[in-house]
Chain A
Amino acid sequence: QKEVEQDPGPLSVPEGAIVSLNCTYSNSAFQYFMWYRQYSRKGPELLMYTYSSGNKEDGRFTAQVDKSSKYISLFIRDSQPSDSATYLCAMTGGFKTIFGAGTRLFVKA
């Protein structure tokens, strides 16, 4: 079993839709939960991170962490075609960072 599970998609939504991206994990030692966005042929770009449980909002993006369920989510409101990319969850607990496989998102105009 992988430490971090993420559905690779692809996920296709119309412009303006609310997007929900999710990851589950098995290691309860993870403390920081990150979301990266990666465009084709580019390196991952840190969108936001959350420490422990709770919510964090940044513009159209909201990250949620539920440590009791070992489940994290990223919500994108009013999705735009420019949001089309691969979204990677990542986690660390003071040791090496573990990445999910990434979910490919397509936002259709």
Chain B
Amino acid sequence: GAGVSQTPSNKVTEKGKYVELRCDPISGHTALYWYRQSLGQGPEFLIYFQGTGAADDSGLPNDRFFAVRPEGSVSTLKIQRTERGDSAVYLCASSFSPGESEQYFGPGTRLTVT
């Protein structure tokens, strides 16, 4: 079956611009997570959705970052006024339910801010 998909796979943007990153979870998965992976590091948690609502957004680094999941399926991570330090691979994962320990990861979006 289809796994988690993310678009675009690569995004290059100029400092100060706005970007949107999309995640399509596995069908039927109610929990959706966003992580950020910097070069040479492990993924770091950003935000977690259960259904349409953000259950935990404690990992968002500042108010330039925002994410939505309006219909409880596709999610969009939005970054305003991008900075060079935002350059990283943004990973999305989904799981069948919040109590399900296995998360399935997408291939990631590599964001480069020039």
Q: Do A and B come from one complex?
A: no
